[in-house]
Amino acid sequence: MMALRRALISTQHVCRPILQPRYWPARSLAAVAGSSTGHVDVSLDETTGIAILRMNKKPVNSLNLDMLTELTIALDKLESDNRCNGLVITSAVPKIFSAGLDILELYQPERGRLAEFWRALQNFWMKLYASPLAPAAAINGHSPAGGCLMAMSCDYRVMASGNYTIGLNETLLGIVAPFWFVDTMRNVISQRHCEKSLQLGTMYTSADALKIGLVDSLVSDTDTVEAARQELLNWLKVPGYARQLTKEQMRKPTVERLAARQDQDIENFVSFLLKDSIQKGLGRYLESLKKPKK
């Protein structure tokens, strides 16, 4: 758990029109199948049309500007290849899916860099949440804050049944989850569970996450990817165009809420995070990480 504590467990322009029908020409598969872009490894099974994306940014798959850029590029390439219809997102790092936003992007930042980082997070979320692919999260470890957001943005969530936790715990660090984090969680679990979770910064065990609908199924630690892949095989039996348009009806209003106020959201976030009280709180958190765990 010490590795997990070393990352922040937190927290105008969409790359393409929301959920457009996928009739574009395929790019070279060499840019996708069996490829690696630093901390993101991607493979594509052309027989099933399902790609596996493994995050491999040790120690905890924290989301900094570079990582968000790599993830967005990888997703864009997969969406642009007409041999890919489904996507499993998982982790190559043991016992961690993603620890969320990198605290080093948030503590004593340069204002321009912070704004760029937040826009990168917005763009990645909009692309994943509205993806014409069928993404499934194979949550094979802890998934706090930004990791939870990524999982909730997928169409299906399989979680390892081990001693892992998942949730949006921003309030525990004195940070307020932005409205689009809230919208995403509200669209997954009940309003009441969402209110309690966000106000208390609750981290749910795998079993409790299943009970409230935050995840869809539990399997053993080693079976998450295969379970997600098997689930997607059922999703891909549905005619793609019908599935995509149905997803658009459900998710487009949520994405458009952020797209319409993207710049305002960046300004609000930057102004909030640069407050002395917030920076001091993050500083205390960083100092606490240096102390040996009792």
Give first-to-last CA distance, the chain, whole Å.
12
| Residue 121 counted as domain residue | yes
Q: Is residue 64 part of a domain?
A: yes
Total domain count for the chain?
Answer: 1
Mean pLDDT of 232-243: 96
User: Given this model, what pLDDT does residue 19 score?
Assistant: 40
Q: Which residues are 88's β-sheet partners? A: 52, 136
Q: What pLDDT, on a 0 to 100 scale, did the predictor assign at position 173?
A: 87
- Give the tens place of pLDDT for each residue, 114-147: 999 999 999 999 999 999 999 999 999 999 999 9
On the question of pLDDT at 5 being above 90, the answer is no
Q: What is the dihedral of CA 239, 241, 243, 245, to 10 degrees?
A: -160
> What are the structure tokens assigned to 51, written together?
């790609």
193 in any annotated domain = yes
Contacts of 262 (CB under 8 A, 6+ apart): 12, 13, 119, 122
| Strand pairing class (40-45; 50-55) | antiparallel
**What range does the domain containing 45 cover?**
2-288
Q: Among residues 155, 160, 153, which one has the least CA distance to residue 138?
A: 160
Q: Using DSSP, state whether 90 is helix, strand or coil.
A: strand
Q: Evaluate whether residue 294 is within a structural domain.
A: no
Instruction: Determine what percent of the chain is predicted with pLDDT higher than 70.
Output: 87
In a domain, 26, yes or no: yes
Report the catalytic residues: 101, 146, 169-170
The answer to whether residue 201 sits within a structural domain is yes
Q: Indicate which CATH number applies to the domain containing 54.
A: 3.90.226.10
Looking at the domain assignment, is residue 188 inside a domain?
Answer: yes
Render pLDDT for 13-66 as a digit per residue (tens, 0 to 9): 333 333 433 323 333 334 455 566 689 999 999 999 999 999 999 999 999 999
| Averaged pLDDT score across all residues of the chain | 89
